[in-house]
Amino acid sequence: MKVIGLDVGEKRIGVAKVDSSTKIAIPVGFVENDVTVWDKLSTIARMNSTNWFVLGLPRSNEGNETKQTLYVRQFAKTLVSKIPNLKIRFQDESLTSVEAEARLKKRKKNYVRGDIDAEAATIILQDFIENFKAQAEAPKPKAPATAASRITNNAVVSSVTSTVKNEAKKVNMQKLKVKHKIKKWKVVLSFILVVAILAGAGTGVFFIIKDKRAKEREEYYRQLEAEMEPDVFNFTITPGESIFDIKKKLAEAGYSAEEINLAFDSTYDFDFLAGRPAGASLEGYLYGETHEFYKDTSVKDIITKFLEGTKQVIDENNLVLRFAERGLTLHQGVTLASIVQKESPAPEMPTVAQVFLSRLEYGWLLGSDVTVSYALDVIDPNRESYTDNTSALTIDSCYNTRLYAGLPCGPISNPGINALLSVANPSDTAYLYFLTGDDGVMYYSYTEAEHNQNAYLHCQTLCNVSL
């Protein structure tokens, strides 16, 4: 059975999961806390076949509830109303995000805020599992002696007492035949014999119990070691990562370049791949998720697992039909979603998708800088030939939407659910331009003059970042 852990924030929600067979919590990723969050968490529950959620319950350093505690409790109530038969447990937590960031700093150089949220969810879920396990293994309170046990104990005492009395009686009967010293010796000897028999029996029981407990402790530590160093590993694809990023991560996981390239060049039997142009790569079709694999899993099997996730997302959200309603094939919809994924944060994706769809309808250039960056990654990854933005924008590539109208020849990243659904259901707006300002705010406009004004007022730095 799997359990999902959540680190609930007002902007993002970190997600982790644990399997009852391994008892090791692993990060899944994060979701934006917007109007689609209930559907996203419901999808996560279905994909993991579980209705158990553990939510971190924030506390102050003194252990008191805070404003954020109340927010999480209210979030839990709403979540239960949105997902039928959901079961929720809380795990008290304090400064979990600080610990999560410290862990990430030790493990990797580059990480985003969402990675911290996912790691925090992992800590929360692992603490819950450890506390649950400790409670289950805690020794039960010693039960008071029952009537039956008291009768048994009294019988033993009575038996010992009777034996001693009988011996004493025999000694008294022989008083006239033997000397006083011999009689006394026999009484003492009889008593010592009885005590020795009882003591011997007690010692045997003691060593049997001690040996049993020692074996139980040994088995516990053996299982603990197996959990601490399992023969498995986690592999994560984050929405927005390209095949170049994924290949690099596989190499870091210990796979050879030969096996990686061979696996990515292989054929995979999924219907949704049939609509791609001849010779197209798997770019765009490896759905972002965290999966657990045995260490001897082949790269081809790893890719297959992520392709299965893509199939599930396409089928569950009826993307073929919903993209068709926008005049797009599945491949075109995935391609546009891959651009939206790289261009904007989740809350802005529906509006950015609307801008691009409008430009396609009018036959305009998409004019997306992120497609130019991908073209450079394909042709000049080290930026040796195209050393500045002016020359980069002229790169002759079917991915260069600053040079060629329409969609690029394929996806430029692997889009997440937010980007895919934004293309399927864009915002009801009519903008034709957008940019991200130096303050992180998205600025939209209807005319090129307004767009240039926005760039002048809000984008002196970001609009000049090297591609």
Q: DSSP states of 249-313 as a string?
A: HHHHTT--HHHHHHHHTS----GGGTTSPTT--STT-S--EEEEEETT--HHHHHHHHHHHHHHH
- pLDDT: which is higher, 98 or 137: 98
CB atoms within 10 A of CB 452: 13
For the stretch 173-206, pLDDT in tens is 554 444 454 455 554 555 555 445 555 555 454 4
- pLDDT: which is higher, 100 or 139: 100
Instruction: Name the helix (H) or strand (E) containing 43.
Output: helix 37-47
CA distance from start to end of the chain: 46
Out of 37-46, 220-229, 236-245, 252-261, least confident range: 220-229
CA distances for 91 relative to 10, 99, 245, 279, angstroms: 18, 16, 35, 50
Mean pLDDT for the chain? 84
Domains of the chain are 1-137 (3.30.420.140), 148-227 (no CATH)
- The model's confidence at residue 224, banded by pLDDT at 50, 70 and 90, is very low
- The model's confidence at residue 147, banded by pLDDT at 50, 70 and 90, is very low
